[in-house]
Structure 1
């Protein structure tokens, strides 16, 4: 069931992202964000109503996961493409850092909030709360003034033509192409730390629920702090130096995670690892916002989304079976040493990102 739900959470994002990029570049990005959020809220509302009538079936959950995944495939690149339209160029790092911090804070608080809600009410009420918060979000979005972006040159072309133009743009832009390759390699290599740390906790420190919860929450708390750090600091003038430094520290701390002798030390390393994530991601987002033509923002951010959605599962195809043969700690240390090697190579290769 978990495998099927994971597939439902990834595949629609991959399938829709190419077309979503074209829609985001052609149409009003503000409306695209509201439409995606409304689509997800509508599916959740239907699910709540079906549950209330007594129709409980796990297939319904899979269908809603498919719709939510498709909505994310539209909403995430649309938000990243919208931010440069309403934020001055010199404030992009601060805003993206704060956005990352807010997202991480929500990830930190939501499990506890969900548990508290479910302890006093039903799953149907929880679904309806999700619908209400979506309505609030869409209402707030309506009040935001967003300058229009022009896409007149492609309005009479087919969607497939625009997709092709996105790949042509990527092929001709050496910097963006190398940045995307770097991101894919790193995502594949960090997949053990993204997916196998709960297995490591249960095997090495015990399978108590509070330990697995603490592992997730310390990472999210660190990521929330990291977002504030990168927003306040702003990073180095060279964005890639910030990303590669964060990548190196991530790898180094992951090695520490693999040799942690007790659970408290593990949690400390996990918290510090969380801090590095916004410092890695925010500069990449800002680089794309700065260096990509505004008319191509949607397609390039969609390609990034596709890369992330494909790279992590691909990494698990490689590392997942190995986790039943080799200790998770050994997998973490070996993969993160490779992450550090990639980061150091990128940092010292002046011709790589030009």
Structure 2
């Protein structure tokens, strides 16, 4: 492990700021473009499926390759692939107006490349940071992600409105190039595989699954994450639709909501980095779910004149999010050996992503028939119940461990 691990993370996160910023600009601009041109929740859910499904399907199998391959090189190649297809879609928009089918296809290919990048990055973190600093690093990561996304929607809608979606996509290419350049300055030592491990794909996959299920605490939270994702993940796609359909406001108001949510995430990430060792990781996770659930419930009942209230609720929701994501990933990074971590992280990510399309498939027809607030309200109920589920299961786990 590197002696100057903080310097290594400063370099990595500097590059990621540019990459995540431009990716945030693209994601919001595409969603807003589809919202503005179609005004259909079904179209938005299909776009969401195109972005989630490839990662979910490929995830369990990608982990085997991640534990074989150089993780730094994997991140560079994956980010370069995302940039290439952004360039391709940008050229299409520059020359004309691509069909919805072509947009969905590009989103699917970008999603497939992301399926390699995100787990490779998470699996590389324990190779750079001390074990007792993983929750703190997770807080930093949430801050970097939030800092980039806080101005991404506003900047994206500004560039989109002033020029075109194609220009936004070209900027995404530049962001990926900067991130890859920063990675070249960092050394990430690849963990040596277990010598007893059979050098066959199915055997390695089986070993990853066996390692995953041995840690009951991670299994419990992963099950809870799947339940939570079905209800909560569609909101990422439905936030602009909420602004447009319920509050009857335009793109700049939608970008304000996204920006305020991200400001909340910055503050939440900062608080997590400062208070990382104050409570147990599970305490942070349950507190996060309760706050997010209550803000969703409130968003589901406020009137269309209460846009300011919705902005405040979005801020609180964003501030709570890092206290779920950060501790959960830190728990996983502590629980498994680095040589097995790629498989476990990609498996856990796939569970969450497979749950997300289910939520999107349910959300589209329900929102079109009953309104977007109905989904906000019931997603809040499910999120609060998920926190209760985790509390009960961990109390039982502690009792069983004490009695044994």
Establish whether residue 351 from structure 1 lines up as the match of residue 393 from structure 2: no
Distance 2:360 2:50 in 1: 16
Distance 1:143 1:79 in 2: 15
Establish whether residue 33 from structure 1 lines up as the match of residue 75 from structure 2: yes
Distance 2:294 2:114 in 1: 31
Within 5 Å, which residues of 2 pair with 1:1-354?
2-48=44-90, 54=95, 57-58=98-99, 60-118=102-160, 124-153=166-195, 157-191=199-233, 193-234=235-276, 236-261=278-303, 262-326=306-370, 328-348=372-392, 349-352=394-397
**How far does residue 49 in structure 1 lie from its aligned partner after superposition?**
5.7
Q: Assess if the C-alpha contact under 8 Å between 1:26 and 1:155 holds in 2.
A: no
**How far does residue 70 in structure 1 lie from its aligned partner after superposition?**
1.1
Residue 126 to residue 207, structure 1, CA distance change in 2 (3 Å):
closer
Q: Assess if the C-alpha contact under 8 Å between 2:296 and 2:377 holds in 1.
A: yes
Task: Give the secondary-structure state (helix, strand or coil) at the position aligned to 1:157.
Answer: coil
Residue 120 to residue 23, structure 1, CA distance change in 2 (3 Å):
same
Q: Assess if the C-alpha contact under 8 Å between 2:49 and 2:357 holds in 1.
A: no
Which deviates further from its counterpart, 297-306 or 36-45?
A: 36-45
Residue 242 to residue 143, structure 1, CA distance change in 2 (3 Å):
same
Q: Assess if the C-alpha contact under 8 Å between 1:13 and 1:69 holds in 2.
A: yes
Task: Give the secondary-structure state (helix, strand or coil) at the position aligned to 2:321.
Answer: helix
**How far does residue 97 in structure 1 lie from its aligned partner after superposition?**
1.1
**How far does residue 302 in structure 1 lie from its aligned partner after superposition?**
0.7
**TM-score normalised to structure 1 length:** 0.88
Which runs of no fewer than 5 residues in structure 2 stay unpaired? 1-42
**TM-score normalised to structure 2 length:** 0.78
